[in-house]
Structure 1
Amino acid sequence: MYTQPVIKKRRNGRYGNNNWIKYSSKIQRDVFLYSDLEYDHWILIEFDKNVKYFCEQPLHVKEFVNGEWVDTIFDMWIMTVDNKYKFVEIKYAADLNPNHQDFSKRSSEQVEKQRKWCSSFGHPYEVHSEDFIYQNKLLLNNYKIMLPYIDNRKIKNDIERKSIINILKLNEKSTIRNIEVQLPHLSKQSVRDTLYNLIYEGVLNANLGSTAVGINTEVWLVE
C-alpha cells in the first residue's frame, strides 16, 4: 500500500504549469497534482464510492526489466473497496497517438515502460486519458461544485443530518428545493452542506449524472 507521494514539488508540464494542492477527505491529507487533467481525474477518484484509498505519484521505479532500463513515476495508485488495486498513468490521448501532431515519443515510451514493468510483476495497469475523465462532463462539473463543501475535518451537525434523513425516509425521493422548504429554520447553505456531505459519504444517492446540481437535484437514501 502506498500512502505518500514520492515527489511533492512544483513542476512544469507540457500543457502548462498548473499545479494543485488540495485536501482529500478520502485519504485525510493534502494531495499534489501537476496538471488540470490530473486535478480533474482526482476529483472523480475522490468522489468514487468504490475507491477506498489512493496515492498520487506513489512509486518511482528504477530498475532493469527484461534488459531494458525503466525509470518512471506512476501518476496514481488506486485501491477499491474490494481490495483490488491498479497503477494509473494520466495522459492526453494525443500524446500517445503517433498519427497526431501532438504525439509525444517520450510519453509513449513512458507508458510502454510502465506497462512492461507492471506486466513483469503482475500489477494491473491502466492509462486514463481525457476520453475517460470527461466521459460525463456534467457529473464532473457537479462534483466541482460540491467539492468546497467536502471536508471531514469539520464537525458534523448530527441534528441537521438526522432531519434530512428523516424527510427522505418518508418521501423516498426528494428534490433539494423540497428539503429546503421542509427545513425553513436552516439556511440553504447549511442544507446543501449537509446534503453534499451525505452524498459524498455514500449515505445518499443523487441524479448527479443527468441533472445539474441545484434545487432540482433529486436525492434518496442508499439502501
Structure 2
Amino acid sequence: MKLITRKIQQNLIMNSRRVREIKLKKFSLSGQITSQKNNSIIQFESSLERDYSILLEFQPNIKCYLEQPMIINYKEGKRGRKYIPDFFVQELDSEINGRVVEVKYQKELFEKRDILKCKFEAARKFCFENNLKFEVVTENEIRTEYLKNCKFLWKYRFNNSVINWTDIDLILYLFEEKEKVTPNQIMELTKDDFKKAELLYLTWFLLSSGYVSCNMNKLINMNTILWID
C-alpha cells in the first residue's frame, strides 16, 4: 500500500495531471478558470470549488495546486471503493509534501456524514503514509473578505496587452517617494478625469498581479494602504 501511494504522490507532483475530467453539467455550476499559478486550465464542478481555486491563485504561500489529483483506494466493509479528493495543494517552504483538500458545504458535510466518514478516514491514512495533510474546507473558510477582494481583482489579471507601461512607471515612482500610498493618492497624480480612470485601472492591475500588496483581509477601497514588498 505504501509503495503504491508513494508512486501516486510522485506522479502527481512530477506530472500534475488530474485523474478525472469534470464535464459540464446541466444542473450544477461546473466550468473552468485559467490559472496563472499553474499555467493551466483548472476545472471545477461547484461554485465553492471555483471560489477556492480563485483563493489559491492569490495566496502567495501557494506554490501550485491541482484539481481531481489522485485516486485513493479503500475498503468499506468487504467492498472496494475509490475516493478522488477535490484538490492537491503544495506550499512554499513547507515541511510536508502537500495538502489533500476536500471542498464541501457545511450542509453537505452534515447530510452525507455517514458516506463521507470512510472516505475521509482513507484520505487521512493516505496522507499519514505520504507526509501529507488532509483537510476539509467549507464556505466558512472560503467565502471571506479575502475572497471578495480576490474576485474583484480577478478581472484585472489577464489584460497585459492593454497596459500603458509609462503610466505604470509613474505609479511606481510615487511608491519610491512615499513607500505606502492609497488609490486616492495615485489619482492625485493627474487632474484629467480620463487619466484618473486609466491610473485606477493600472492600480488594480498592479495589485491583482502581485506587484503591489495590501491587507487582503479587509475589503479594498480607495483609501486602502498599498505598498511594494
**TM-score, scaled to structure 1:** 0.80
Counterpart-to-counterpart distance in 1, 2:227 and 2:62: 21
> Are residues 1:108 and 2:137 paired?
no
**Hey, what does 2:58 align to over in structure 1?**
47
Which amino acid letter does the alignment assign opposite residue 95 of structure 1?
E
> Are residues 1:194 and 2:202 paired?
yes
Which amino acid letter does the alignment assign opposite residue 133 of structure 1?
I
Measure how far apart 1:194 and its partner are. Answer: 2.9
Q: Given that residues 95 and 107 in structure 1 are in contact (C-alpha distance below 8 angstroms), is that contact kept between their aligned partners in structure 2?
A: no
**Hey, what does 1:56 align to over in structure 2?**
67
**Hey, what does 2:135 align to over in structure 1?**
126
Task: Give the SS at the match of 1:204.
Answer: coil
Task: Give the SS at the match of 2:53.
Answer: helix
> Are residues 1:23 and 2:23 paired?
no
**Hey, what does 1:174 align to over in structure 2?**
181
Distance 1:42 1:81, change over 3 A: same
Task: Give the SS at the match of 2:155.
Answer: helix
Counterpart-to-counterpart distance in 2, 1:150 and 1:12: 28
Task: Give the SS at the match of 1:207.
Answer: coil
Counterpart-to-counterpart distance in 2, 1:187 and 1:106: 57
Q: Given that residues 208 and 217 in structure 1 are in contact (C-alpha distance below 8 angstroms), is that contact kept between their aligned partners in structure 2?
A: no
- Runs of 4 or more above 3 Å deviation: 62-65, 67-70, 94-97, 152-158, 183-190
- Mark the runs of 5 or more structure 1 residues left unpaired by the alignment: none
Counterpart-to-counterpart distance in 2, 1:120 and 1:207: 37
> Are residues 1:7 and 2:20 paired?
yes
Measure how far apart 1:25 and its partner are. Answer: 1.3
The partner residue of 1:91 within 104, 107, 112 is 104
Q: Given that residues 177 and 216 in structure 1 are in contact (C-alpha distance below 8 angstroms), is that contact kept between their aligned partners in structure 2?
A: yes
The partner residue of 2:170 within 163, 167, 171 is 163
Measure how far apart 1:130 and its partner are. Answer: 1.9
Which amino acid letter does the alignment assign opposite residue 188 of structure 2?
V
Structure richer in helix, relative to its length: 2
Which amino acid letter does the alignment assign opposite residue 129 of structure 2?
S
Counterpart-to-counterpart distance in 1, 2:24 and 2:120: 19
Counterpart-to-counterpart distance in 2, 1:72 and 1:155: 44
Distance 1:5 1:104, change over 3 A: same
Distance 1:113 1:166, change over 3 A: same
**TM-score, scaled to structure 2:** 0.78
Which shifted more, 2-11 or 45-54?
2-11
> Can you list the C-alpha shifts for 1:3-54, whole angstroms capped at 9, x where unaligned?
23222232669xx611131111111222101111111111111100111111
> Are residues 1:75 and 2:89 paired?
no
- Mark the runs of 5 or more structure 2 residues left unpaired by the alignment: 1-12
